[in-house]
Structure 1
C-alpha cells in the first residue's frame, strides 16, 4: 500500500515541478510584405492585448522583419501593420504558447488613390409656360 502511494506522490511532485518551469512569456517574430512578397521596411507593427491593455509597437527592419519578446501568454493578441501608401492590415485572435516563438507574415496592399470631385453651379431656370424641344443642356 505504501509503495503505490509513494509512486503517486513522486509522480505528482514531478508534474508540479515541470508545470512550475513552464515560461509565462513568448516571443513573436514576423515579417511584413507587399502583394509581390517584397519586404516592407520601416512598417509600424502594433501588438495589442485588449484583455489587459498591453500594447507594444515595433518597426520592421530593412528586410521587413520585426521581433517582440517577453509577451505574456495570458491573453489573445491583435496585430496591426501599417505603412504610408499601404492599407493597414490586421491579424486577430493570436494566442501565444509559453516558451515558444510564434512566426507570422502580414501582407499589406497598396492603398488606392482617392479622388474627390466637387461640382458647383447654379441650376438654370426651367420655363414651364412655353414647352420647347432642344438639344442643349
Structure 2
C-alpha cells in the first residue's frame, strides 16, 4: 500500500511525517504568548478565522526554544477538533512511500526517541518517521 510522506527539516534534521496527518502547510507570524503554558507551546496564531495553538517542535523534542522572530513555516494538524500549528524549519517535499516502516536501530536522544515511529526510505536516504501526536504532547508526556 502506498502512503504519502511529508519531508521536513526539524531541529536541523530531515525527517518524515505521514501526509494524512497534515491539514495544511502555512506561514505563521504574529504569535500571541500564552501565560503559564507548557514550554513547547509557542503561543496562539490566527489563520483563516481560526485560532491555532502553535507548538515549537524543537522545544517539544527537548532541544530548547526556536527563534520565532518573523514568519515561520508550520504544518497544521487537527486533534479532537482542535487545530494546531507545528513550527518546522522547512517543508521540503511530498513523496510516495510503499515500503515498510523499519525499527530505529541507532541511538537517539530521548526527545527524538519519544517522537520516533520508525525509519523510512526516501530515495537513497533513511529518514526518521515522526509522530505528530507525540510532538503535540511535548516532553511532559514522558513524565505522565
TM-score interval for Structure 1 and Structure 2 normalised by the shorter chain: under 0.3
Tell me the TM-score normalized by structure 2: 0.20
Q: Which has the larger radius of gyration?
A: 1
